[in-house]
Amino acid sequence: ATLLFVYITVSTVIGYKHQTDASASGPDAACGGVGILGIAWAFGGMIFVLVYCTAGISGGHINPAVTFGLFLARRVSLVRALLYMAAQCLGAVCGVGLVKGFQSGLYARHGGGANEVGAGYSVGAGLAAEIVGTFVLVYTVFSATDSKRNARDSHVPVLAPLPIGFAVFMVHLATIPITGTGINPARSLGAAVIYNGDKAWSDQWIFWVG
């Protein structure tokens, strides 16, 4: 699931940067592209789809931050949490690898979809944005999947993918200019491993601590 998530979303990021590249000419001349709104929809929409598809199989975590939160809440065991996080990171690396394999020229030219603190923002601002964004996501996951809801709210778990996906969408709208929006350490790690840029690695800790 993480492989599919990262492949679709990073491809969208690369495509947007290519569409808005001011140095391009001819058929590749810059246009408006999908914009930040389109990128946010790609991330939120894929989370909605994949959580819906995999919730009954693995819980639909897709994100080490979510898995870690559920582990702290004793909703998954330590062994299961570690295996999930390892699989998520491996899936993310493979997903970005597919993006690079399919469009290597654009991938290198447009930064590989790697998360970095944006120009004009401090490391502290980037860390704070990631902490708040991750909190919004994990809080939504816990609220949407709370097994202690009464019978009146028994329909809520069925609808869980919708608020979770929408939370991802909203957080991306708010934080794309600051960090490119991590809130998923596996997504950030996968892009850093394949792109292997100095800044992507120097900022990597922000997306794990945050």
pLDDT of residue 184: 92
Q: Does position 53 have pLDDT exceeding 80, yes or no?
A: yes
Helix (H) or strand (E) holding 20: none
**H/E segment holding residue 115:** none
pLDDT at residue 132, rounded to an integer: 95
pLDDT at position 1 is 84
Extents of the domains making up the chain? 2-209
| pLDDT-above-70 percentage for the chain | 88
Mean pLDDT of 124-148: 89
Q: How far apart are CA 129 and CA 131, in angstroms?
A: 6
Dist. CA 2–CA 10, nearest whole Å: 12
Residues 90-109 have pLDDT tens digits of 999 999 999 999 988 888 88
Kindly give, in sequence order, each residue whose CB lies less than 8 Å from that of residue 4, ignoring residues fewer than 6 positions away.
46, 50, 95
What pTM does this model have?
0.84
| Average pLDDT of the residues in 45-57 | 88
CATH of segment(s) 2-209: 1.20.1080.10
